[in-house]
Amino acid sequence: MSSCAICETTNGNGLAVCQTCATEFADRLAWLDRIGLPALQAVAYRQVNLDRSSTRVARTTADSQPPIDETALDLYREVEQWLQHLGGRIGLTPIGHDRDGQPVSIHDWAWLIPHLIGWSGRIWKLPDIADWDRQLTSLHERVSAMSEPRAERRLIGVCPTCLPETRTPILADPDTQYAVCPACGEFLTLRDVRAAYLTSAGVLHITRTQGAAAKWIRHNLRVHVTGRDLMNARQQGRIHPRHIEGRYWEWDLTDLLAVANRKQTREEH
């Protein structure tokens, strides 16, 4: 019995790397081959736009940008060089040498990756396989972050620290909970920023059902409020929605924010 060189768990297959780590290593290589590097190449040469913004904004941004994304291209080259060094270590010929005298395979990534997977038995025997695994994991994460579609950033509110001198807009992805103000550097909790922004707006919100109003709270404030919570608050006289006609209700945003704050306080305690 020996321990895996990567995860250090007991390994009963007699190899330096356990089956789980070997599979994950090969899967990351395969992902780079089929998805990651082709997508990153398209990003580098601006053949795709990964920002989910409006057509007008996307077109304006594309017109103002250089034809090549240097950051993506640098990462693309870094990954290919890493693959060439790994190929050189396991003897995938023909082999050259870099400026430090380290062996490198002179093939490109499209040829290298299938052969690295096919000759993975040589990789598991490398004495520094754990370092290669960490490097591959890091490259995989960086390529994924740069080559996958990015969620559209939305206006959350304005920075309360910059007020009243400046109304600095705070933009963030829909699922983000925190942000840093680009103007003053203040660390912000987006739920509080959104609540303050809506309170200052002092507007009304019209929905067809109580459940729709609760969904609005969950979407905008990230507090799990249900239609029953709103019904209970209405029966207790805490909020006073106005029935318009049919199934439509008019809600004061201040009331909805108060319900969300009470629910959040209960959950925290």
Residue 193, burial from CB neighbour count under 10 angstroms (0-12, 13-18, 19+) = buried
pLDDT of 59 higher than 50: no
Check whether the bond before 94 is cis (ω within 30° of 0).
Answer: yes
User: Beta 178-180 vs 187-189: how paired, if at all?
Assistant: antiparallel
Residue 56 pLDDT exceeds 60 = no
- Considering the chain, what is the average pLDDT of its residues? 82
pTM for this predicted structure = 0.56
pLDDT of residue 65: 60
pLDDT higher at 187 or 54: 187
Residue range 227-237: mean pLDDT, rounded: 88
Higher pLDDT, 155 or 70: 70
Task: pLDDT band for 80, please (50, 70, 90 cuts).
Answer: very high
Query: How does 148-166 read in b/e, with b if 16+ C-beta sit within 10 Å?
Result: eeeeebeebbbbbebeeee
pLDDT > 60? residue 9: yes
Give the pLDDT confidence score for residue 57 in this predicted structure: 42
Q: Tell me: pLDDT of 3 over 80.
A: yes
Strand 187-189 to strand 169-172: parallel, antiparallel, or no bridges (unpaired)? unpaired
Give the pLDDT confidence score for residue 204 in this predicted structure: 62
Q: What are the residue ranges spanned by the domains of the chain?
A: 2-147, 154-268
Q: Rounded mean pLDDT of 6-16?
A: 77
Using 50, 70 and 90 to split pLDDT, how confident is the model at 55? very low
Taking residues 37-53, report their average pLDDT.
79
CB 25 within 8 A of CB 124: no
pLDDT at 123 over 90: yes
Query: With 70 as the cut, is the pLDDT of residue 58 above it?
Result: no
CA distance 168 to 190: 14
Question: What is the average per-residue pLDDT within 20-30?
Answer: 93
Q: pLDDT band at 51, cuts 50/70/90?
A: low
pLDDT digits (tens, 9 = 90+) for 202-226: 656 677 777 888 888 887 777 888 8
pLDDT greater than 80 at residue 231: yes
CA distances to 234, 256, 259 from 230, in Å: 6, 8, 7
- Max distance between CA atoms of the chain, in angstroms, equals 80
DSSP assignments along 41-99, one per residue: HHHHTTSS--B---HHHHHHHHHHS-SS-HHHHHHHHHHHHHHHHHHHHTT-SSEEE-T
